[in-house]
Amino acid sequence: MTTGRKERLLPYLGRSPEPTTRSDRRAQEVQRLNDVFLSYAAADAVWATKLAEHLAGHGLSVFFDQWSIEPGQVVIHELEAALLASTNGIAVISPASVRSAPAMNEYAVLAGASATHGLRFIPVLLGQVAAPPFAAQRVWRDFSDATGQEFTDKVAELAAVIARRPAPTGAGAASSRDNLAAVHPSPPRPLTAPEEPAFVVCCAPADAAYGGRLTEQLRAAGLPVWSTGDLRPGDAQFWTIRQQLRYAVAVVVVMTPQSQDSDDVTRMILEGQVHGRAFVPVLLDGEVNYHLAATWHVDARHGGLLDEAELGLLRLLHEDVTQGRPARLPEAAPARGSAPAVRMTTPAVGMAPPAVRMTTPAVHTTAPEIRTTAPAARMTAPAALERLRAHLAEDEYEHADLLTTRLVLETAGRLGEGWLSERHAAALPLELLAGIDALWTAHSHGRQGFGRQRALAPMDRGGRGSRFPDLGAALGWRDSAEAAVPRLYQDFARRAGPGRRAGFFPTLRDPGRENNPDWYDRWSSTVLAVHARLREWKAAPC
């Protein structure tokens, strides 16, 4: 760099152009914060100089060793002082820098400073290189192919971030591509079957002691069992949990007030239900989980573990699943204190069910005695809407779909029965339906929700709603009014496609209740009843 250009840039570099003693200059440099420390490998010096000049041109004070370290100064001391005096750090990561010990040392210091004193660490990629692990945890910018206007726009974005100014226009598309690549650095990893499907035990942290004893009881009984306690160092925890739930023999849920309020337990329940897993809820305290109200459960409120009859049922369930037979579980008692159902039903557990769901007689077992049943916990509308918002924000559309169904049923007082008629739906507050629709609409940019479904629904000549087959065809639930609907919920939900077909959600289906031969009639009744109520909106609130 020529002396003239250096003098022009000095005001931007945080250094006075007036001559001073070395000690005065050193004190001035340490006391004044640099806007950004620029780290790079010697082989990238030409490109790094261009970046530094453009950043300085945006009014930033840049620590760049070619400008900021004078002959005779101790380089390592100057670098250390500059790092401490910088509020932002840019590490140029390239094939040369990952082979350069000095560049990697500076990279390590910047990464550490971001954790210890709040320095904003910005990785800049150059030369088609993958971000190192620590840099990959930060949102980076890729300058590998950035030239001309794209280079200018990206530097302007960096300068705005460093100076805490509003984002400039122009870098939108390129920045969005980099953001997607930074947030999703790994290729998709499909869920594959574990070595042995297991009973997956789910519990809240407050119930970990009981959950651990229950896990050991099942293991001692010769049953395959898995819980989060079986995660091993290096496991991809979220992928492993989803894998175990996807292929579970059954999901064993320890039900307490703490698990009812746990978002993690709720997600595990919904994940299992999306994939049609069988459930073995164990009520330890409080009320039956909101999402398992229609499921048979073990009453363990006395604090004990499973008895021999219940363990025998789990052994038969494991045998059914491993041999490809429909799994059998007792039906839930219809009401508290009433006699338990003796017949056994065949819930979907992820395998292809028969065309007509029929009650399976217990040909080689007797249904265990079911202990006194408990009422299901109730979820307030505000709490349910907040959970719905959280699922949609995480792009968990299937989970949000199941929660929507249960919120509608709960509000109508039909959670235990699991279906609605028009008479029942008349009790649904329009404000609640509007609130549900507002969340679906906002998070899908208007592609989902009751309002979008109303716009797509065909009407007959009298202004009444369409027949259920016609409505299903219009919303993408079936190929045509005459076509069949996929029996398993996970197959059904795939019809929405990666782009989430407009109007597909909410479906008001609930795989946790589709154990009965008349599941289709109950579902169609619920959908038509809710859509009849929607037509009563005098003005479109969506």
Which of 98-112, 367-381, 462-476 is the most confident on average?
98-112
Q: What is the rounded average pLDDT of the residues 388-393?
A: 88
Mean pLDDT of 526-537: 90
Q: Which of 39-43, 330-334, 477-481 has the least mean pLDDT?
A: 330-334
Distance CA 333, CA 372 (A): 9
Give pLDDT tens digits for 410-435: 899 888 888 999 999 999 999 999 99
Strand order in the sheet with 250-255: 225-226, 199-202, 250-255, 279-283, 298-299
For the segment 33-56, what is each residue's pLDDT rounded down to a tens digit?
A: 688 989 899 999 999 999 999 999
| Closest listed residue to residue 390, CA positions, set 504, 289, 267 | 267
CATH 3.40.50.10140 domain span(s) along the chain: 3-183, 199-345
411: Cα within 13 Å, side-chain hemisphere: 24
**432 vs 337 pLDDT, higher one:** 432
Per the CB < 8 A criterion, the answer to whether 29 and 73 are in contact is no
Among 64-78, 156-170, 349-363, the range of highest mean pLDDT: 156-170
Is the pLDDT at 334 greater than 90, yes or no? no
Residue 284's contacts (CB-CB under 8 Å, 6 or more residues apart) are: 207, 210, 254, 255, 256, 300, 301, 303
If one compares 470 and 537, the residue with the highest pLDDT of the two is 470
State the pLDDT at residue 184.
58
What percentage of residues in the chain have a pLDDT greater than 90? 45
Q: What is the CATH number of domain 3-183?
A: 3.40.50.10140
**Among 266, 271, 281, 274, which Cα is nearest to 241's?**
271
For residue 69, the model assigns a pLDDT of 65
Which pLDDT belongs to residue 140? Answer: 87
* CATH code reported for the domain at 199-345: 3.40.50.10140
Region 450-466 average pLDDT: 76
**Res 170: pLDDT:** 59
pLDDT score, position 340:
36
Mean pLDDT over 336-357 rounds to 34
- Decide if pLDDT at 107 tops 80: yes
For residue 227, what pLDDT is reported? 95
Yes or no: say if 498 and 392 are a contact pair by the CB < 8 Å rule. no
With a cut of 90, say whether residue 71 has pLDDT above it.
no
pTM above 0.75, yes or no: no
pLDDT 10s digits, 222-281: 999 999 999 988 888 888 999 999 999 999 999 999 999 898 999 899 999 888 889 999
Residue 528 pLDDT level (bands cut at 50, 70, 90): very high
Q: What is the pLDDT of residue 374?
A: 66
Contacts of 352 (CB under 8 A, 6+ apart): 487, 488
Mean pLDDT, all residues of the chain: 80
Residue-wise pLDDT tens digits, 361-376: 333 344 444 444 566 6
